[in-house]
Amino acid sequence: MGGGRIDRAMAQTSAPTTAAGSQPQTPTASPSAAPAAAAAAHAKEPEVYIVGRWGAFSIAIGFLVAVLLLTLLVKSKNGFNFFQSPDGAVSVSKVQVWMWTMTLIFSYVYLFLWQGPPDKFPDSLWELMGISALSTGTARYIASVTGKAQPPTEEAKATIAKQRWLVSMLSDDGQPSMMRLQLFGWTIVTIFLFLMYLYKNRALWDVPTTLVILMGISHAGYLGDKGAAAAKPN
């Protein structure tokens, strides 16, 4: 009996008490914690709109393959494809437009099938596509007014045919062009960052103004370089 009373007294003495002398209460989860966790889980994995993530990815890749085949198979009466200029050389401005077109087709189809139509199409993408289209049209105009849009001679065709497509794209009149390299380089960087943003945030990236300006400067340098090269005698 005495031993039992001593044990109970020691247990009461060792138990921590609050300021009012009552036993501490075990903390309970906030009533709003469960809905918040559920909302976070829902935001992490959006509701499927048509097909799942990998299904949307596969279908979007299929669209890219179809467009790529059309780009390579459809040719002019001279045997040139969409990438080639009238002289047979690969045009960096046309390649740049094609790369952005492919990127936006893939991104839009991917998001549409997985999450539904994107809420917003960023203004910067309109600006980039407009810069690319304007650059391509201006380059064609420069070639037409300087006579470079005429069909090349057989000798010129043979020289261009010996060049690899990358060398042909990054050179002008047989000379490597820094302006073409700059334009192509910034295009690769911007598209890579765009796709990384798409993967991480599941949304179309509103490209920063700084990058848009850099792309505009690159196109201006390319057109200036092309105009100077086109002014030379054939």
Instruction: Choose the weakest-confidence range: 32-46, 69-83, 114-128, 169-183.
Output: 32-46
- Of the pLDDT bands very low, low, confident and very high (cuts 50, 70, 90), residue 15 is very low
Q: Let me know if residue 4 belongs to a domain.
A: no
Q: What is the pLDDT of residue 78?
A: 66
Does 154 map to a domain?
yes
62 confidence band (pLDDT: 50, 70, 90): very high
Say if 78 falls within a structural domain.
yes
Q: What domain range includes position 129? A: 47-230
With a cut of 70, say whether residue 43 has pLDDT above it.
no
What are the pLDDT digits (tens) for 143-156? 777 655 555 556 55
C-alpha radius of gyration, the chain, whole number: 31
DSSP per residue over the chain, as a string? -HHHHHHHHHHHHHS---TTSPPPPPP---TTHHHHHHHHHHHHSPPPSSS-HHHHHHHHHHHHHHHHHHHHH---TTS--TTB-TTSPBPHHHHHHHHHHHHHHHHHHHHHHHH-S-S---HHHHHHHHHHHHHHHHHHHHHHHTTTTSPPPHHHHHHHHHS-HHHHHTEETTEE-HHHHHHHHHHHHHHHHHHHHHHHHSS-----HHHHHHHHHHHHHHHHHHHHHHTS--
> How many structural domains does the chain have?
1
CA angle 170, 175, 176 (to 5 degrees): 40
Q: Is 20 part of a structural domain of the chain?
A: no
At residue 151, the pLDDT reads 55
73 within domain boundaries: yes
Q: Which two three-digit tokens encode residue 162?
A: 């010996």
Q: Above 70 in pLDDT, residue 39? A: no
pLDDT confidence bin for 60, thresholds 50/70/90: very high
Q: What is the pLDDT of residues 75-112, one digit of tens each?
A: 777 667 777 776 677 888 888 888 998 999 999 999 99
For the ranges 5-14, 97-106, 173-182, the one whose mean pLDDT is highest: 97-106
Residue 32 lies in a domain: no
| pLDDT of 55 over the 50 cut | yes
Asked if residue 16 belongs to a domain, the reply is: no
Q: How confident is the model at residue 214 (pLDDT cuts 50, 70, 90)?
A: confident
Is residue 134 situated within a structural domain?
yes
More confident call, 113 vs 159: 113
Q: Has residue 7 got a pLDDT over 60? A: no
**Predicted pLDDT of residue 21:** 47
> What percent of the chain clears pLDDT 70, i.e. is strictly above it?
66
Lowest mean pLDDT among 12-16, 54-58, 84-88, 177-181: 12-16
